[in-house]
Amino acid sequence: MNYKKICVIGLGYIGLPTASTFAMQDLDVLGVDINPSIIATLNRGEIHIHEPGLREIFNTAIQAGKFRAATSPEEADAFIIAVPTPFRDHQFGEYQGKQFKLADMTAVISAAESILPVLREGNLVILESTSPPRTTVDLLAPILERSGLKAGIDFHLCYSPERVLPGQILRELIENARVIGGITPESAQAGFDLYSVFVKGKIIKTDSTTAEMVKLMENTYRDVNIAIANEFSRLAEKFSVDVWEAISIANLHPRVKILSPGPGVGGHCISVDPWFFVETAPEITPLIYQSRQVNDSQPAFVVRMVQRALGDLNGKQIAALGLAYKPDVDDLRESPAVEVVHLLQSQGARVLAWEPFKPDAKLPGVSMANSLEETLQNADAVLLLVSHTEFKKIEPDQISGKTRARIAIDTVNGWDSKSWQDAGFKIVKIGVGK
């Protein structure tokens, strides 16, 4: 198929880089988002998210007249849906007394309905949003067929999940393997033709439900492996072992690769996707369910660490370094660091957080500092929650004169224990017994 104009619905961490990458290939791209502030920002030639290299290619696309933004779709050759699929607020599923989170597909439904007035014969519609299995055939297709056109016959329909890492999105969009799941082989080929415009990695064609499952499997695999690392950190503390030393030794085995423990699992992938399996098949996913329980409870484990180091937390001032869900990005979605802050505050602690990648973040109940120095001032303890590169470079003698704190709590193994101890600090690390 020959594509000249595409419409990308949802201009967040995936949609905007995808739209900009297509525009760099000389396609006319209309970016759609229901947030008028985002539309105004983009049409001024500015961007609203942090991603290395994005500003440069976005500016090139704008200057070439290949990208513009609007609040509703227009006729196009292809439509890409890249909207969020968060959890439902205060709604849970239940199976044999166990509660599990449910996917909120409202944004996907709204995006599909917005396409209806402009959907034409021969068009291609692609869902990129991470979704429970069979979403494409059971949810998306029936909505689009309200246009009077038949999915897989009059228009092509595919599922093609994003599989990129924040901080490396632009490179991985191009270089990573791409999965195209069509509801028919012809739809899969149409999707193949579109992504071939810029994808240099292998493009695999399959059916839509397989493609949905592939995305969920990838992140569930990682979640389960992180869960065992987090559980090892708890065991190490119980048995007075240094989990970091134990992991490094265990990983010398040629068939063992234990991941690193931490304050939990966040982001809009690993902490979310496994629940989609549990939601659709709770009777056969006990391992996935339990892994989610372990990782979701890790912030509470961190708070117990802090309590052991400081005693009663009521009135204690804590400098929290990092709120992002992973190092060197500005993405705070489902961040375990934010949950740690909330839990500390529920115990009476006063927490002042510094997030250098998003200093203007506005989070309910979270007090934000304007600088590292402000965070450290008057702190009783320094709590490292995210291994941002700049945080790992902090030397204790650099901050000893800027804070009264002499307790450092490291949840990500970012600091050298001996250096901090030599500087007069008591350092407490996750997964390190007494």
In a domain, 394, yes or no: yes
Give me the catalytic one of 101, 215, 316, 429. 215
Residues 174 and 310 both lie in one domain: no
In a domain, 96, yes or no: no
In a domain, 60, yes or no: yes
How many domains does the chain divide into? Answer: 2
In a domain, 198, yes or no: yes
Residues 57 and 203 both lie in one domain: yes
In a domain, 252, yes or no: no
Residues 203 and 310 both lie in one domain: no
Q: Which residue has the tokens 């205060």?
A: 90
269-279: b (≥16 Cβ within 10 Å) or e: bbbbbbbbbbb
In a domain, 276, yes or no: no
Q: Of the residues 180, 208, 236, which one is the last residue of a structural domain?
A: 208
215 is catalytic: yes
7 is catalytic: no
In a domain, 245, yes or no: no
Residues 30 and 148 both lie in one domain: yes
Residues 42 and 191 both lie in one domain: yes
Give me the catalytic one of 269, 316, 326, 429. 269
Query: What three-state secondary structure class fits 236?
Result: helix
Domain extent, residue 65, equals 5-85+103-208
Of 319, 323, 427, the C-alpha closest to 379 is: 319
Residues 33 and 178 both lie in one domain: yes
- The number of helices, as runs of H, and strands, as runs of E, in the chain is 18, 16
Q: Of the residues 151, 179, 208, which one is the last residue of a structural domain?
A: 208
pLDDT at residue 434 in the model: 67
Per-residue pLDDT of the chain (434 residues; tens, 9 = 90+): 789 999 999 999 999 999 999 999 999 999 999 999 999 999 999 999 889 999 999 999 999 999 999 999 999 999 999 999 999 988 999 999 999 999 999 999 999 999 999 999 999 999 999 999 999 999 999 999 999 999 999 999 999 998 888 889 999 999 999 999 999 999 999 999 999 999 999 999 999 999 999 999 999 999 999 999 999 999 999 999 999 999 999 999 999 999 999 999 998 789 999 999 999 999 999 999 999 999 999 999 999 999 999 999 999 999 999 999 999 988 898 999 999 999 999 999 999 999 999 998 999 989 999 999 999 999 999 999 999 999 999 999 888 888 899 999 999 999 999 999 999 999 999 999 86
Of 424, 422, 429, 433, the C-alpha closest to 403 is: 424
Residues 200 and 319 both lie in one domain: no
In a domain, 253, yes or no: no
Q: Of the residues 163, 190, 208, which one is the last residue of a structural domain?
A: 208
- Specify the CATH number for the domain of residue 316: 3.40.50.720
